[in-house]
Amino acid sequence: MSAANLVDQLLCENLKALQPYQSARRLFSGEGAGEKGIDGADENQPAWLNANESPFANEYTLNCASLNRYPDCQPPSVIKAYAKYAGVTPAQTLTSRGADEGIELLIRAFCTPGQDKILICPPTYGMYAISAETFNIGVEKAPLNHDFSLDLEAIKAQVGKVKLVFICSPNNPTGTDVGKQQLIQVLEAFAGKALVVVDEAYIEFTQQGSWADELANYSNLVVLRTLSKAFALAGIRCGFTLADEAVIQALLKVIAPYPVPEPVAQIAKQALSDSGLQRTRNQVAIINQQKQQLQQQLAQIPQVTLVGDTAANFILFRTGQKQALFESLVAKNILIRDQSKQLNLDNCLRITIGNDRQNKMVLSAIQQFFQQESSNS
Ligand SMILES: Cc1ncc(COP(=O)(O)O)c(C=O)c1O
């Protein structure tokens, strides 16, 4: 029997139709970038504006003296530093291989395969549903309203039917913050029934306060965080789950024995030092300023309609010529993200804020595309 036939015979039923998450890097590989990295000044390098990464590549030092040893499961210095940064206690803090692993751990710890369900509010980050489907967990949907606020009626209708409620704020890909009063209603509706997971991957870019401050008030609140966005460390895969100590202890039952490689711990610690935090704040300010400029310039293009908001590090827009524009940008080595398959986001594209050069490149390529379109018609 061929391996392919054997796989067909053995593969879990729930995985047969599953499409893996089409991450930005799966669609366009970063391999071949060379020593300058993908943000080097090399004009031939694509402008990577498709994964909501930071354009800043910062320097770190690495001490190899203990690489022969397994690392701590939860490196105390990283846990302490992140807890201090987030204003929670170390016992309320768990670190993992990105926020993505936090999502997976929550599903594995709290949902029984073939029996339990999670709730998502699309359009939103794709990994909640994919992670659930991978473990044969059902996915209920309460789509966002047309202004991308939560549909509270639809959400409350799921009380008692789901174990986890995933709410992304600022939301990817709409860039909208979830209103505080709305979230309070969700937390209260699911009190004693389900965990409400607020994904704050983009929290550093918004003026809205973090839900980490509310952990003491809501025992069913879980907050997800990451070093992949504002901290410019998507490459090290380091995220955090903040929750009541009892929730953290449950997640520690299912986490791998050594989930945080030693180099990751060393780099995370430097990023969370006083000078690291200051650098992050400076870089966030630059990104937010660039975002405002790009947003204003895009808004002046008649064929472009801005969609949602810009509370994170990206801009979402709609255009009737979505496909042709996307392809013309790819041809110019400018990679942005097609979001048009998401619920209510037909013809929508998402641009991650890059550095000044990349932002100018994408803007002028879009302007040229529409000028050419108008002169052809
Ligand atoms: C909303 C949201 N949550 C989580 C993640 C994943 O974060 P990490 O890189 O920490 O796994 C992303 C990545 O794009 C995201 O957009």
pLDDT tens, position by position, for the chain (377 residues)? 999 999 999 999 989 888 887 777 667 776 655 555 556 556 667 889 999 999 999 999 999 999 999 999 999 999 999 999 999 999 999 999 999 999 999 999 999 999 999 999 999 999 999 999 999 999 999 999 999 999 999 999 999 999 999 999 999 999 999 999 999 999 999 999 999 999 999 999 999 999 999 999 999 999 999 999 999 999 999 999 999 999 999 999 999 999 999 999 999 999 999 999 999 999 999 999 999 999 999 999 999 999 999 999 999 999 999 999 999 999 999 999 999 999 999 999 999 999 999 999 999 999 999 999 888 87
Q: Which residues form the pocket of ligand 1, taking CB atoms under 6 Å from any ligand atom? A: 52, 98-100, 125, 168, 172, 199, 201, 226, 228, 234, 239
- The whole-angstrom separation of Cα 284 and Cα 232 is 10
- Contact predicate 228/98, CB 8 Å: yes
| Mutation test residue for ligand 1: of 176, 228, 240, the one with most atoms within 8 Å of CB | 228
Amino acid symbol at 211: W
- What are the residues whose beta carbons fall under 8 Å from the beta carbon of 179, sequence distance 6 or more? 149, 150
Q: What is the pTM of this model?
A: 0.95
Identify the pLDDT of residue 128.
98
- Contact predicate 178/199, CB 8 Å: no
Beta strands in 38-110 (DSSP E): 47-48, 93-96
Cα–Cα nearest to 79, from 319, 255, 340 = 255
Distance 370 CA to ligand 1 centre (A): 32
Look up residue 97 and give its two tokens. Answer: 């291989």
| Mutation test residue for ligand 1: of 229, 240, 260, 313, the one with most atoms within 8 Å of CB | 229
Q: Domain 9-57+277-376 is of which CATH architecture? A: Alpha-Beta Complex (3.90)
Helix (H, G, I), strand (E, B) or coil at 374: helix
Residue limits of CATH 3.40.640.10 in the chain: 76-275
Per DSSP, 348 falls in state E
3-state secondary structure 280-314: HHHHHHHHHHHHHHHHHHHHCCCCCEEECCCCCCE
55-62 long-range Cβ contacts below 8 angstroms, 24+ apart: 55/287, 55/353, 55/354, 55/355, 55/358, 56/232, 56/283, 56/355, 57/232, 58/232, 58/271, 58/279, 60/266, 60/267, 60/270, 60/271, 61/266, 61/270, 62/263, 62/266, 62/267
- Specify burial of residue 140 (Cβ count, 10 A radius: 0-12, 13-18, 19+): middle
| Mutation test residue for ligand 1: of 94, 100, 120, 224, the one with most atoms within 8 Å of CB | 100
Residue limits of CATH 3.90.1150.10 in the chain: 9-57+277-376
- What are the residues whose beta carbons fall under 8 Å from the beta carbon of 221, sequence distance 6 or more? 187, 195, 196, 198, 211, 214, 215, 243, 244
Beta strands in the chain (DSSP E): 47-48, 93-96, 117-120, 138-141, 164-168, 195-199, 221-226, 239-243, 305-307, 314-318, 334-335, 337-338, 348-352
User: What is the fold of 76-275?
Assistant: Aspartate Aminotransferase; domain 2 (3.40.640)
Identify the pLDDT of residue 31.
62
- The whole-angstrom separation of Cα 308 and Cα 174 is 5
- The whole-angstrom separation of Cα 152 and Cα 144 is 9
Query: What is the number of the ligand 1 atom nearest to the C-alpha of 238?
Result: 10
- The whole-angstrom separation of Cα 353 and Cα 291 is 6
Distance 232 CA to ligand 1 centre (A): 12
